[in-house]
Chains A and B, each alone.
Chain A
């Protein structure tokens, strides 16, 4: 299940060592780091090295579900517990019994639900909705977050007692830009994997020079963005151009999403795409397909930035407005390298 933790930086070496020393303990763990840094990979590696391997590994995203639904997903319900509960349903705590429950995006859990989670962690027992019986659960709880939970506590959004109860083991994964030396081994690993998937001959892979440039880039979407870029390189070819685009988009994004007033001003698409300049039909890289993708990317980036701006970077809200799944939104944020305005956490 999942890849090994790839990397040669001292951060990654330290994380591997930590995983080796704590995987057998089953003590509550918090894994923190920006989106796409590998929090789930670390959780999977903890599980694979633990005596719980072979037991269930259950994951739930606390940001993707509204409060009521998240509660019934976690604890389950009896038939008739609420309108629509036509069948009894087992909760994640029951499903994960003996194994691991990964609570993803724990920082987005509501305060009332935090209280209920705290109760489960203290007592090892939980009650399905509409039930009288407390059920026992032996579940290794691993929480992941891209929030600064200390900050959330200061703002009254996260319970301090829950924080300490979860943080028995803490594993922080620094962003990829702070450990560029991990890029070559990651590229190596995923080039092999994707080459196998793509199966064709003459797949273009990034040259050492391209990898060098990749090591200079900021990777706001971290390893997930790196994977997307690699896939694009191997499917479309032309690694040089793709790496150039990364830097071009990065400078466009400095200062965060376009201010609202900019979006309202009608812009000509040919301006936007620089059809007179770099992307002119005279240019070598010109092709309808490439331009079309660039145009779609531009439009998506504008719209998503706009909605994120409006929702104050509340990504679950933004996903709902955009009518795309939360996952898709996160993917697009990283793929399109949309960065939050200064002072906003990503």
Chain B
């Protein structure tokens, strides 16, 4: 990739969000983050260069991760989306219905997530 990939990361748990941001930043991504769905939608609407990838938690205040996925897939069908979820949560099925490219259950290893992210950005399936 010529420039650093831009990733939007959404999670309402502060520790998770900052850990994800820190890791992706260290791996050379340009990271933008939101701790709720509405802020994420605003970023998606306002952000001019656009994102190469969206990583979102599913259970979020106001606009859920499931909603973010459906909206992204409608407005920016080419942008890949990874859903991360607490294990055994019902929204997992909803995330798949909303066409998330990958649903990853917590706990997962950061390098695994990053590897999947890289593949998706390159146009693969992320698996």
Q: Which residues 63-118 of B sit at the A interface, judged by CB distance below 8 A?
A: 63-64, 66-67, 70-71, 89-91, 94
A22 near B90: Cβ-Cβ < 8 Å: no
The chain B residues found within 8 Å of chain A, CB to CB, are: 38, 41-42, 45, 61-64, 66-67, 70-71, 89-91, 94
A170 near B41: Cβ-Cβ < 8 Å: no
Consensus secondary structure, chain B interface: helix
Sample of 15 more A-B contacts, CB < 8 Å, known A18-B62, A163-B90, A165-B94: A14-B38, A17-B38, A18-B38, A21-B45, A25-B67, A25-B70, A25-B71, A27-B70, A161-B90, A164-B90, A168-B94, A169-B62, A169-B64, A170-B64, A171-B62
Q: Which residues 258-313 of A sit at the B interface, judged by CB distance below 8 A?
A: none
Minimum CB–CB distance for B35 against chain A, Å: 14
Taking CB atoms, residues of chain B closer than 8 Å to A22 are 41, 63, 67
**Bound CA–CA A168/B67 (angstroms):** 6
Taking CB atoms, residues of chain B closer than 8 Å to A25 are 67, 70-71
Contact (A168, B66) CB under 8 Å given A160-B90, A161-B90: yes
Minimum CB–CB distance for B83 against chain A, Å: 13
Contact (A169, B63) CB under 8 Å given A21-B41, A25-B71, A27-B70: yes
Taking CB atoms, residues of chain B closer than 8 Å to A18 are 38, 62-63
Residue on A nearest B42 in the bound complex, by CB: A21
The 5 A-B pairs of least Cβ separation, nearest first, read A164-B90, A168-B67, A21-B41, A164-B91, A27-B67
**Bound CA–CA A43/B19 (angstroms):** 37
A164 near B94: Cβ-Cβ < 8 Å: yes
Number of A residues with CB within 8 Å of any CB on chain B = 17
A to B CB contacts below 8 Å, 16 in the list = A17-B38, A21-B38, A21-B63, A22-B67, A27-B67, A27-B70, A164-B89, A164-B90, A164-B94, A165-B94, A168-B70, A169-B62, A169-B67, A170-B62, A170-B64, A171-B62
Taking CB atoms, residues of chain B closer than 8 Å to A160 are 90
**Bound CA–CA A21/B38 (angstroms):** 8
Taking CB atoms, residues of chain B closer than 8 Å to A61 are none
Q: Which residues 145-184 of A sit at the B interface, judged by CB distance below 8 A?
A: 160-161, 163-165, 167-171
The chain A residues found within 8 Å of chain B, CB to CB, are: 14, 17-18, 21-22, 25, 27, 160-161, 163-165, 167-171
Taking CB atoms, residues of chain A closer than 8 Å to B45 are 21
**Bound CA–CA A168/B61 (angstroms):** 10
Residue on B nearest A162 in the bound complex, by CB: B90
Taking CB atoms, residues of chain A closer than 8 Å to B94 are 164-165, 168
Taking CB atoms, residues of chain A closer than 8 Å to B61 are 170
Minimum CB–CB distance for B8 against chain A, Å: 15
Minimum CB–CB distance for B92 against chain A, Å: 9
A167 near B38: Cβ-Cβ < 8 Å: no
Taking CB atoms, residues of chain A closer than 8 Å to B64 are 167-170
Residue on A nearest B74 in the bound complex, by CB: A25
**Bound CA–CA A220/B70 (angstroms):** 38
Taking CB atoms, residues of chain A closer than 8 Å to B62 are 18, 169-171
Taking CB atoms, residues of chain B closer than 8 Å to A14 are 38
Minimum CB–CB distance for B58 against chain A, Å: 9
Residue on A nearest B37 in the bound complex, by CB: A169
Residue on A nearest B41 in the bound complex, by CB: A21
**Bound CA–CA A307/B70 (angstroms):** 47
Minimum CB–CB distance for B6 against chain A, Å: 21
Residue on A nearest B65 in the bound complex, by CB: A168
**Bound CA–CA A22/B55 (angstroms):** 20
Taking CB atoms, residues of chain A closer than 8 Å to B70 are 25, 27, 168
**Bound CA–CA A105/B70 (angstroms):** 27
Taking CB atoms, residues of chain A closer than 8 Å to B67 are 22, 25, 27, 168-169
